[in-house]
Chain A
């Protein structure tokens, strides 16, 4: 990573609710073209322990994109992005990216967690209005992106979500598009090493509300915010 930045506002792209992160003690680091909450305390080891039990990271500034329309399959294939037949499944692609097939006509692409995969930007650049019935969905501006990790994550979700997210019924790379805390969200299971992890996306205007709800639900399990550094460490 490059030089540390002290505030979220020192980068052009930052989280939708960066003030909440600052209030929680976040220190920021430039990742890709954005400032991301890197750590929340001085003890990185403690944060990694929390991430293994129950942690939430705000990855909203990281690259991602989406496309929608009847011709999305052939267009993605033309860009060398292959997704499977089944909807509500996520498919690894590029160099660490994840293509989430939300419907036969819609794909959400999450960039690599370390912001290094150029695929989201390359797809945005490749799209032109002669792509037929295939239209871009500006997920990086429209949707927040939280990642919830740890062995207690599914228990925490059971408090605020009607879908059973336990391992036996919601396997790795399964997707649930459902209501969480009465707000519409996309939940994608994407384990980090041996640690259960769930990417969660929803309306960016609700980022602050959902951050508050999740942190409140996590209190019971001693969960709380973790920085991207702890998330990346789980992959090793």
Chain B
């Protein structure tokens, strides 16, 4: 059984984890084009090599980030998402922000 190290729970069987896809920079939904948003939502880079991916430890619903080599399927590092994301994303529309 392949083992993955969860930053919260420690080493667990890989069957306890679900991959959530590549970690990408989200474009500003209020200012980006439809093409940019569609690219963000639907398209994947699918790089060969070391990538950053979202993973979820299903028993705890704990989301974290893993560096994985897609050529060798080797997991190089796992870490809490707070290393990359420190603020909660706000999805309010610009006119709501202005109190309209």
Which residues does A use to contact B, with CB under 8 Å? 87-88, 102-103, 162-163, 176-179, 184-186
Given A184-B58, A184-B59, A185-B59, CB of A178 within 8 Å of CB of B16: yes
Contacts of A102 in B (CB 8 A): 60
Contact status B8-A179, CB under 8 Å: no
Contact status B16-A87, CB under 8 Å: no
Among B1-57, those with CB < 8 Å from A are: 1, 8-10, 12-13, 15-16, 57
Q: Give chain B nearest CB distance to A184 CB in angstroms.
A: 4
Given A88-B8, A162-B12, CB of A179 within 8 Å of CB of B60: no
Q: Give chain B nearest CB distance to A12 CB in angstroms.
A: 31
Partner of B12, one of A87, A163, A185, A186: A163
A186 to B13, CA, bound (A): 15
Q: Give chain A nearest CB distance to B61 CB in angstroms.
A: 9
Report which residue of A103, A177, A184 has the largest number of chain B beta carbons within 10 angstroms of its beta carbon: A177
Contact status A179-B16, CB under 8 Å: yes
Instruction: Answer yes or no: B62 CB below 8 A from chain A CBs.
Output: yes
Contacts of A179 in B (CB 8 A): 12-13, 15-16, 58-59
Contact status B8-A103, CB under 8 Å: yes
Contacts of A178 in B (CB 8 A): 9, 12, 16, 59
Q: Give chain B nearest CB distance to A37 CB in angstroms.
A: 27
Q: Give chain B nearest CB distance to A164 CB in angstroms.
A: 10
Q: Give chain B nearest CB distance to A225 CB in angstroms.
A: 25
Given A163-B12, A177-B9, A179-B16, CB of A103 within 8 Å of CB of B59: no
A135 to B42, CA, bound (A): 34
A102 to B57, CA, bound (A): 13
A179 to B59, CA, bound (A): 7
Cross-chain pairs A/B with CB under 8 angstroms, 15 sampled: A87-B8, A88-B8, A88-B10, A103-B60, A103-B62, A162-B13, A162-B16, A177-B9, A177-B57, A177-B60, A178-B9, A178-B12, A178-B59, A179-B12, A184-B60
Closest B residue by C-beta to A180: B59
Contact status A162-B1, CB under 8 Å: yes
A102 to B9, CA, bound (A): 9
Contact status A88-B58, CB under 8 Å: no
Contacts of A88 in B (CB 8 A): 8-10
Contacts of A186 in B (CB 8 A): 59
Closest A residue by C-beta to B57: A177
A186 to B8, CA, bound (A): 14
A186 to B9, CA, bound (A): 11
Closest B residue by C-beta to A163: B12
Mask, B58-70, CB within 8 Å of A = 1, is: 1110100000000
Among B57-89, those with CB < 8 Å from A are: 57-60, 62
Closest A residue by C-beta to B62: A103
A87 to B57, CA, bound (A): 15
A75 to B76, CA, bound (A): 38
Closest B residue by C-beta to A183: B59
Contacts of B59 in A (CB 8 A): 177-179, 184-186
A178 to B14, CA, bound (A): 11
